[in-house]
Amino acid sequence: MPSVFIKTYGCQMNERDSEAVAAQLVAKGYTLAPSEAVADVILLNTCSVRDFAEQKAIGKMQNIAADVRKHHPEVVLGFMGCMAQSRGQELIDRLPDVDLVLGTQKFHHAANYLDEILAGRRDKIVDVAAEQGSEATIREHLLNGNAQKSVTAFVSIMQGCNQYCTFCIVPYTRGEERSRSIPDIVAECRQLVSQGVKEITLLGQIVTSYGKRGFGRAELPLGQDAQQRVPTTKKTSFVQLLDAVHEIDGLERIRFTAPHPKGYGDDLIQAYARLPQLVGSAHLPVQSGSDRVLKLMHRGYTRERFLGIVRKLRRAKPDIGITTDIIVGFPGETEDDFEQTLSLAREVQFDNAYIFKYSQRRDTPAAEMPGQVPLKIREERNHRLLETINEIGKRKYDAFVGQRTQILVEGPSKKNPARLAGRTRCNKIVVFDGSERHRGQLLDVKITRAGSFTLYGDPAIVNL
């Protein structure tokens, strides 16, 4: 049977989509290739959110076409995901070595299309059409295919975005918001927990809009209490989903990403105080600290409203970890606007922030706005904001030293595989000297040292 190698760019949704495609192919008898050099099929799952991500994937495909094809002429090459969706046929016109372009609503057709191409029945396939019900197809997990047992898992609860922030390409690459049903999601989560998963991250482009535009069909057998659940309360559908997932016995931790700040109504804030398994961590993408820029971005909240959400969250869950995304150099951003972002960062005291230099995206309103900010200024603002974020982060991380905290051990540390790594409930990574048998355990560790956005636990104090 053919072997496949999948390389993933971008967000956790992309990681999850790649995993589901890999699981689908394994179920059809494919094997997973250890490297692209020996694979029969190479798929790049792409990101479009910034131009840099697109250029990286295009450059990678050019290299593969030049190197791998030379030694392995029969190799099948494909793009899937967001850039495949937004560029379609154009990718094959530009890179004639590419055989398959698979859009974001078509992942579940990967195996059939590859079979056709490998059997020589079809030459090139481009499929980027919209497909009803596709949100419910990202369901297979690779847990059994993994040599190691997975402790954490991602579950896709919805696809698409209707927010139309003026800088963002996602509504065009991921389409309209479509949500899976609560019973369908709960059934998948139950299955994962029965396989040993302890922590589930509910995923979507904008999870706080979950269910706002109706639900897809439930295609899995429903659990008893899921069937009886009738959404009659005033809670948003997303909080109803959290309640339903929270009832699963054996599930220790629930996370979700990415929410929109304006989705933090009182019901969601109270959920943090009410649901013990919902972790004390919130990723709240603020994007800017200036009301003028927030309006141009079409974010739907003001600086004051954002600060109010943060205050309420900290009241509901005092030790909550709060992270954010910030764009610097949005069109028209003045020095004064940028300083308001700096001051907001200081006021909130984010645990961490992902900072992005504004990148013009095709077909988005901001790409046409006046006052595009020169790269030099975007870089300089990026640098200044990063210094502020690092300084705040350092203080926040240092404050953990000497504290005891609970971690869920996920496996070997990425940076140093000889050590183990886990996460606190507030989503900070803790590295410690442990052994394979700690994987999947909830451990109390004492923090002895803080590095750059990493904590270190003392092995002597780990409960053995």
Site residues for ligand 5AD per CB under 6 A: 49-50, 167-168, 285, 287, 325, 327, 356, 358-359, 361
Taking the complex as a whole, how short is the minimal distance between the CB of residue 288 and ligand 5AD, in angstroms?
10
In whole angstroms, give the CA distance from residue 336 to residue 148.
51
Contact 360, 367 (CB under 8 A): yes
Residues 326, 354 contacting (CB under 8 angstroms)? yes
Instruction: Provide, rounded to whole angstroms, the least separation between the CB of residue 279 and ligand 5AD.
Output: 20
What span, in angstroms and rounded, lies between the C-alpha atoms of 45 and 43? 6
Q: Which is nearer to ligand 5AD, 134 or 341 (CB)?
A: 341
Cα 173 from Cα 205, distance rounded (Å): 11
Q: Which residue number, 167 or 397, has a Cβ lying nearer to ligand 5AD?
A: 167
Q: How far is the CB of 328 from ligand 5AD (least distance, A)?
A: 9
Q: Is 13 or 420 the residue whose CB approaches ligand 5AD more closely?
A: 13
Residue 393 and residue 47: Cα distance in Å, rounded? Answer: 28
Contacts of 119 (CB under 8 A, 6+ apart): none
| Antiparallel, parallel or unpaired: β 152-156 and 199-203 | parallel
Which CB, 11 or 182, lies closer to ligand 5AD?
11
Q: Which residue has the tokens 């013009």?
A: 360
CB of 200 to ligand 5AD, least distance (A): 21
How far apart, in whole angstroms, are the C-alpha atoms of residue 181 and residue 110? Answer: 24
Q: How buried is residue 340: exposed, middle or buried, by Cβ count under 10 Å (0-12/13-18/19+)?
A: buried
- Nearer CB in complex with ligand 5AD: 327/392: 327
Q: Which is nearer to ligand 5AD, 373 or 430 (CB)?
A: 373
Cis omega (within 30 of 0) for bond into 147? no
Smallest separation (angstroms) from ligand 5AD to the CB of 324: 8
CB of 185: closest distance to ligand 5AD in angstroms? 23
